[in-house]
Copies of this chain bind each other. A is one copy, B any other.
Amino acid sequence: MFDTHTDVRIPDLAPCGSADHEDCGLRMILDRLGEQWTVMTLAELSAGPRRYRELERALQGISQRMMTLTLRRLERDGHVLRHVEPSIPPSVTYELSPIGRSFAAQVAALVEWSRQTKAHIEASRASFDARSGQK
């Protein structure tokens, strides 16, 4: 793991554009990922459709405001589909779209990688903090 030489060929990161990565669409993705509830919402929805309340309960500690905002943004980007059942009281169900599932798969890859790397990073941080602490 992490061989200096044999490691995976690094696909080209640079030619994406100079200004920001707006042109390649990366910014749009990172904006979502930067929001702290997006990944957990995707995780929960990747297990199947959920109603608003179910999601809220699953994502312990989320505020109503952020629940709605997160879902709206995911919906706007086409990752999540919203079905309204106009009953009384109303029932609203959310589920991943094909694109959303594809997105979730990407995130899952990231999760897998971070699992493998977690220990290294924590060790690196500890060592870094120790070095700067003593000085």
Which A residues lie at the B interface, using CB under 8 A? Answer: 2-4, 7-8, 10-14, 16, 18-21, 24-26, 28-30, 33-34, 36, 39-40, 42-44, 46-47, 60-61, 75-78, 98-99, 101-115, 117-118, 120-125, 128-129
Determine how many copies of this chain the complex contains. Answer: 2
With A76-B128, A124-B78, A125-B77 as known contacts, state yes or no: A47 contacts B108, CB within 8 Å: no
A110 touches B118 (CB 8 A): no
In the bound complex, residues from chain B placing their C-beta under 8 Å from that of A40 are 20-21
The 6 A-B pairs of least Cβ separation, nearest first, read A25-B118, A78-B124, A34-B34, A13-B43, A11-B108, A2-B98
Q: Can you list 30 A-B pairs, Cβ within 8 angstroms, ordered by A?
A: A2-B98, A2-B99, A4-B98, A7-B105, A8-B102, A10-B101, A10-B104, A10-B108, A11-B105, A13-B42, A13-B108, A14-B43, A16-B111, A19-B61, A20-B40, A21-B114, A24-B111, A25-B114, A26-B111, A28-B118, A28-B121, A28-B122, A75-B128, A76-B125, A77-B124, A78-B125, A78-B128, A99-B117, A102-B113, A109-B109
